[in-house]
Structure 1
Amino acid sequence: MITARETAEKNAPTRAALSFQDVKVTFSTEFGEVQAVKGVSFDVMPGEVVAVVGESGSGKSVTSSTSMGLLPPNGRLTGKVYVNGRDVTRLSGSELRALRGNEISMVFQEPMTALNPVLKVSDQLKEAMEVHGVAFGKDALARGVELLRQVGIPEPEQRINEYPHQFSGGQRQRIVIAMAIACHPSMIVADEPTTALDVTVQADILDLLRRLKTEVHTGIMLITHNMGVVADMADRVVVMFQGEIVESGPVEQILLHPEHEYTRRLLEAMPRLRSEVSEPDVPPQSTAEEDTEPAGQNEVALEAKNLALAYNHRGKSTRVVEGVNFQVRRGEILGLVGESGSGKSTVAKAVLGLLEVEEGELLIRGKNLPTLKSAERKKLRQDIGVVFQDPAASLDPRFPIGDIITEPMVVHKVGTVRERTARAEDLLESVKLPRSVINRYPHELSGGQRQRISIARALSLSPSILIADEPTSALDVSVQARVLEMFAELQEQYDFACLFVTHDLAVVDQLADQLIVMQNGRVVEQGSKDKILRAPAEYYTQRLLAAAPVPHPTQQAERREARRELLISHGVDVM
């Protein structure tokens, strides 16, 4: 017989796993008070994924940090934050420590900084359980092995005793997720959990989070700027702009019928893979042998012939790239794609002269780089510019912007001080920044502006070759769109040959002319961009394309199922 109390409990509304009620966060700075979050309210229910989207500075990460009581000392919080009905804002330090990991866990963006590099994975997993009294000693170790198996780490009995640096980026993120679920929390806050990962690893991590949501009924607050990830994962979407919620609702409504202008801008800015149906037939591009146009305008700027590269460690040579052949002409962009460890960045290092060529030829404007003397190499390097992935790490924080842009000219003794300054000002205008920026420092600029400075520096010597290594992966989607648009304009203006290294297939679809797909140091497939992205011949390329999410919930669900069928058809064990 069902009692009145059981009936009341059954009919009671489900309590939110996480609830924000009129949350406001203000930071005290040397320039005064800065209001980062301005009255945010929304809930995350058990077994629900709520995606919080917006650009850097929108307040989404600050909002999430309030749920864990992780605001810095200069932050002041008003409003209420509830985790399973408990008001986090009223908890003491010891109560917060008991809450973190036990009822609510966080998965951070960069797994290597979230893991202690001097402790074995076993110690870190055991610590998470022992602190909260879930398991101890051998029981905790056994539970750790099971957690690693649950998140898809191969041979967990052996690998649990390894250190974080012995795992790949995707595996480290799986370990962070294993730590996050070690104490069976009812709520997980995932702050950009896939931003730094390859597209295939990203798909695996999203599959894992989706499985946790279904099997464990965990609520997930997913912070991201990737609308494809939102379409793949979210039940509801909260759009934040300048500390406020500008739009919220079911994922289909927000992605397919956005009402706010800011949401529409985010969706329009996202690079997309064009569909096979809408793509017109593209005539085959001529090969190097067939090309009869005079040199000069269509000059081969960069060429690799049977290129093999190796790393030397303690006298032992390990070959990591084998048999690579390509040509890049002036005015052409060659996209180099593949997962981490595929060898694409290694090829870029060799072109920059940072890695010796073990076998084959690497021709820079017809000159074989490995055979040149050091003086000739230095002179040839004037003809090569480079844009790195992280602008904050590649710009010297002690130098003003003008000195950063003109540094290559100083190194190669090009021009007078006045000529260098004039060149820096012209380049600032080319990358759509005001000339007044010349006396500012990197920390005074946004991430997108810093990447524009990196591009200006790369062009300071008017190179005929530009190496771009993941130049937009660290940027917000709208900033990325502006940088890519500017990049295409600059390429047309300066007519440089470009080797564009990326794992984002939608980006190369937007920019590249030719494409090389690499895996384990070898070329899997190469040819025109349209041929490879629209009709891939190799399974590895098909797998890369299938893993790329699109910002359309229905289409993404179909793509996810198609990817699953592709993996199963090739004998891959799909969890």
Structure 2
Amino acid sequence: MTTLDISTEGEAGYRSDAVLSFEDLHVRFGTEFGTVHAVKGISLDVQPGEVVALVGESGSGKSVTSMTALGLLPSNAKVSGTIRVGDKVVGDLDLRGLRRMRGNDVAMVFQEPMTALNPVLTIGDQLTEALQLHGIAFGKLADARAAELLHMVGIPEPERRLKQYPHELSGGQRQRVVIALAISCDPKVIIADEPTTALDVTVQADILDLLRSLKDKLNTGILLITHNMGVVADMADRVAVMLKGDLVEMGTADQVLNHPQHEYTRKLLGAVPHLGSGPGQFGTSDDHAGEGVTEAVERPALDLRNLVIEYQRLGKPPFRAVDDVSFEVHKGEIVGLVGESGSGKSTIARCALGLIPAASGSVSIFGTDFGRMRKRELKDLRKRIGVVFQDPAASLNPRMPIGECIAEPLVVHQVGDATSQQERVYELLDAVELPRAAFNRYPHEMSGGQRQRVSIARALTLDPELLVADEPTSALDVSVQASVLQMFTHLQERYQFACLFVSHDLAVIDLLAHRVVVMQNGKIVEQGLRSEVLHDPREEYTKRLLAAAPVPEPGEQRRRREARHELLRSLGDQVAELDYDGGVIKSLKPGAGTGVDPHTRDGGVPGA
């Protein structure tokens, strides 16, 4: 029994006033291995001023469904059924008609902004191109409108940013540029494909406020594609759940998130870490909370003292990415390092691995100062350190089978013979719950979650005493993330390694960490036990971070959003909302997290 019930006017659930509708949509892809039926007869619509969230794991058909509305599928795709954008039937339009429709009637916010933006055109050229193509503004008026759009989405110094190229902006700023492009022509419907994946929680909260204000004041419909159930709870009026091309459940946000009927929906929601629930969310023991972890008598595995890291810039003063940071990580302890983009988290992690030097201060690994070691000593020390990078596809050699990728540290450090190395790889595949048949497979033959498990296995090859994990689950589906985190917890309890866990997901940190260190603009603003920092924060910045983190329950999330707005007002900040007059978006009144201090962070500085 599901809540799938589209009681509407017309056939197949189509309502005549819908700004976007799919009726009995089928999408098949012809491949060398046969036909892949990616979307299997779904019917769905979006009304003016409504947010419909389309959720499901990778491969469920969400993005394929959305691409049909813009006519962007490749030539090997065969589409049947009817797709309407307003009063236009997409299948009846020629190329010129599709170009007129895109932007004016329907706009897309893509997941990966670097592939959506042209790397050889300035930000200003790309914004004015859209305005001129659709006859909205030309010349200086187009330039002024482009700057206004950047201001609307919370980018500081918009006139200067117009002259910059995409690579000169941070990931979060690039995503905001893509959103500015999407709203530039005041479309009737916006398709947002994971629009906040690359954003910090505070920026995400402001972007969601912006989209909410947009749909309320312009009566714009939004089809929101996401795997973040907190975003769904915050934004969605209705929720549609997809599984392997089928629509398995649909209903209001309250119905689907609080009273799921389909087993798959219950599984998805059960896998979502919930900020405030702490350890034990996935069946781990309360002992893992680490609240009783005491400062070990022996020396810490990682000890940072007054650490300063600077980047040299040609013709300019050095950029200080990390400023006077001190904290420790002990054996058997997970320390969560959190903060917004540009706060210095990943820079600290790379310095702890010896990949970048410290300008001053010290990095001690097991009581030995990294900066005073010779090359041979460094190689011996690195045997005791494991690392899990954020993107497993980029950190695994595509030309090497999985078995060789995992065994590589053994080969580099000349540990054991071929037989013992193979046995060690099999042992690790078992530990990360991968089949031994994966030994001879290549990285591209495995899913994202499986590749991340391979990365964790490789990091544990030499039984490290210290593990540095940089956003290891940020790109994973919620169910895959849950299994990886549960596995990570069990491995940490089994091997008792010290762990520095870098993440911007506060719910994940709440699940895993014993202690938490909060970073802002290269400095520590607060640190302490997980229960103290995340449940009873002292500092204003930590309170803002926690207030902006969404939770996957609509009623609770509504209360949290209202409380966040009250907090911002009490601190003298404005809540992000649109100033709308006569069919034209005039400006954005930015919230606290929307703008980034232009004199400090988030300006595209490498490693910042």
Q: TM-score, normalised by structure 1?
A: 0.93
Question: How far is the alpha carbon of 1:286 from its aligned partner?
Answer: 6.7
Mean CA deviation greater in 55-64 or 123-132:
123-132
* 1:333 corresponds to 2:308: no
Write the letter of the residue equivalent to 1:304: L
Equivalent residue of 1:573, what SS? coil
What are the equivalent positions in structure 2 for 1:153-232 lying under 5 Å apart? 153-232=155-234
Q: Distance in 1 between matches of 2:173 and 2:209?
A: 14
Question: How far is the alpha carbon of 1:90 from its aligned partner?
Answer: 2.0
Match of residue 233 from structure 1 = 235
Match of residue 93 from structure 1 = 95
1:431-456 alpha-carbon deviations (Å, 9 max, x no partner):
00111110001111111000000001
1:284-330 alpha-carbon deviations (Å, 9 max, x no partner):
75764xx55xx4xxx62111122222223448633221222222111
What are the equivalent positions in structure 2 for 1:122-133 lying under 5 Å apart? 122-133=124-135
Structure 1's 275 and 383: CA in aligned 2 closer, same or farther, altered over 3 A? Answer: closer
Q: Distance in 1 between matches of 2:554 and 2:94?
A: 41
Question: How far is the alpha carbon of 1:30 from its aligned partner?
Answer: 1.4
1:28-79 alpha-carbon deviations (Å, 9 max, x no partner):
1111111110001010011100000000000000000000001111111111
Match of residue 302 from structure 1 = 302
Whether the aligned pair in 1 keeps the contact of 2:241 and 2:250 (CA below 8 Å) is yes
Whether the aligned pair in 2 keeps the contact of 1:196 and 1:473 (CA below 8 Å) is no
Task: Work out which of the residue numbers 16, 19, 23 in structure 2 matches 1:17.
Answer: 19
Task: Work out which of the residue numbers 255, 269, 272 in structure 1 matches 2:274.
Answer: 272
Match of residue 479 from structure 1 = 480
Write the letter of the residue equivalent to 1:164: P
* 1:256 corresponds to 2:251: no
Whether the aligned pair in 2 keeps the contact of 1:285 and 1:528 (CA below 8 Å) is no
Whether the aligned pair in 1 keeps the contact of 2:291 and 2:530 (CA below 8 Å) is no
Match of residue 551 from structure 1 = 552
Match of residue 60 from structure 1 = 62
Question: How far is the alpha carbon of 1:134 from its aligned partner?
Answer: 2.0
Match of residue 397 from structure 1 = 398
Match of residue 408 from structure 1 = 409
Q: Distance in 2 between matches of 1:393 and 1:83?
A: 38
Q: Distance in 1 between matches of 2:418 and 2:312?
A: 41
Q: Distance in 1 between matches of 2:290 and 2:321?
A: 34
Give the ranges of 4+ consecutive aligned residues of structure 1 lying more than 4 Å apart after TM superposition.
Answer: 278-287
* 1:345 corresponds to 2:346: yes
Write the letter of the residue equivalent to 1:303: D
Match of residue 521 from structure 2 = 520
Mean CA deviation greater in 163-172 or 364-373:
163-172
* 1:355 corresponds to 2:356: yes
Identity of matched residues, %: 61
1:94-131 alpha-carbon deviations (Å, 9 max, x no partner):
21111111110000112222112221221111110111
Question: How far is the alpha carbon of 1:137 from its aligned partner?
Answer: 1.8
Equivalent residue of 1:300, what SS? coil
Q: TM-score, normalised by structure 2?
A: 0.88
Match of residue 453 from structure 1 = 454
Q: Distance in 2 between matches of 1:300 and 1:159?
A: 44
1:261-296 alpha-carbon deviations (Å, 9 max, x no partner):
1111111100111269x99999975764xx55xx4x
Whether the aligned pair in 2 keeps the contact of 1:187 and 1:219 (CA below 8 Å) is yes
Match of residue 430 from structure 1 = 431
Write the letter of the residue equivalent to 2:562: E
Question: How far is the alpha carbon of 1:14 from its aligned partner?
Answer: 5.7
Match of residue 246 from structure 1 = 248
Equivalent residue of 2:28, what SS? strand
Equivalent residue of 1:492, what SS? helix
Q: Distance in 1 between matches of 2:173 and 2:207?
A: 9
Mean CA deviation greater in 501-510 or 361-370:
361-370
Whether the aligned pair in 2 keeps the contact of 1:272 and 1:550 (CA below 8 Å) is yes
Whether the aligned pair in 2 keeps the contact of 1:466 and 1:499 (CA below 8 Å) is yes
Whether the aligned pair in 1 keeps the contact of 2:291 and 2:514 (CA below 8 Å) is no
1:144-192 alpha-carbon deviations (Å, 9 max, x no partner):
2222233233333343233223333333222211111111210100000
Match of residue 141 from structure 2 = 139
Equivalent residue of 1:330, what SS? coil
Whether the aligned pair in 2 keeps the contact of 1:337 and 1:515 (CA below 8 Å) is yes
Q: Distance in 2 between matches of 1:448 and 1:456?
A: 12
Match of residue 468 from structure 2 = 467
Gapped runs of 5+ residues in structure 2? Answer: 1-14, 577-608
1:356-389 alpha-carbon deviations (Å, 9 max, x no partner):
1222221111111111111101110111111011
Match of residue 26 from structure 1 = 28
Q: Distance in 1 between matches of 2:492 and 2:420?
A: 23
Q: Distance in 1 between matches of 2:87 and 2:509?
A: 47
Mean CA deviation greater in 375-384 or 169-178:
169-178
Question: How far is the alpha carbon of 1:543 from its aligned partner?
Answer: 0.4
Task: Work out which of the residue numbers 68, 81, 84 in structure 2 matches 1:82.
Answer: 84
Match of residue 509 from structure 1 = 510
Task: Work out which of the residue numbers 38, 41, 48 in structure 2 matches 1:39.
Answer: 41
Whether the aligned pair in 2 keeps the contact of 1:239 and 1:263 (CA below 8 Å) is yes
Whether the aligned pair in 2 keeps the contact of 1:275 and 1:534 (CA below 8 Å) is no
Q: Distance in 2 between matches of 1:275 and 1:318?
A: 38
Q: Distance in 1 between matches of 2:426 and 2:277?
A: 41
Match of residue 582 from structure 2 = none
Equivalent residue of 1:72, what SS? coil
Between 1 and 2, higher relative CO (CA 8 Å, sep ≥ 6) is seen in 2
Write the letter of the residue equivalent to 1:121: I
Q: Distance in 2 between matches of 1:403 and 1:140?
A: 55
Q: Distance in 1 between matches of 2:151 and 2:496?
A: 51
Equivalent residue of 1:190, what SS? strand
Equivalent residue of 2:450, what SS? helix
Whether the aligned pair in 2 keeps the contact of 1:26 and 1:33 (CA below 8 Å) is yes
Structure 1's 286 and 500: CA in aligned 2 closer, same or farther, altered over 3 A? Answer: closer
1:521-561 alpha-carbon deviations (Å, 9 max, x no partner):
11100010111011000000000100000111111111111
Equivalent residue of 1:101, what SS? helix
Match of residue 115 from structure 1 = 117
Write the letter of the residue equivalent to 1:559: R
1:174-217 alpha-carbon deviations (Å, 9 max, x no partner):
22111111112101000000012111111111111111101111
Match of residue 440 from structure 1 = 441
Whether the aligned pair in 2 keeps the contact of 1:442 and 1:450 (CA below 8 Å) is yes
Question: How far is the alpha carbon of 1:570 from its aligned partner?
Answer: 1.5
Structure 1's 275 and 384: CA in aligned 2 closer, same or farther, altered over 3 A? Answer: closer
1:434-480 alpha-carbon deviations (Å, 9 max, x no partner):
11110001111111000000001111111111110000000000100
Q: Distance in 1 between matches of 2:359 and 2:151?
A: 39
Q: Distance in 1 between matches of 2:528 and 2:102?
A: 51
Match of residue 531 from structure 1 = 532
Match of residue 581 from structure 2 = none
RMSD over equivalenced CA pairs, Å: 1.9
Mean CA deviation greater in 254-263 or 134-143:
134-143
Match of residue 378 from structure 1 = 379
Q: Distance in 1 between matches of 2:441 and 2:80?
A: 35
Equivalent residue of 1:540, what SS? helix
Question: How far is the alpha carbon of 1:423 from its aligned partner?
Answer: 0.8
Q: Distance in 1 between matches of 2:333 and 2:378?
A: 23
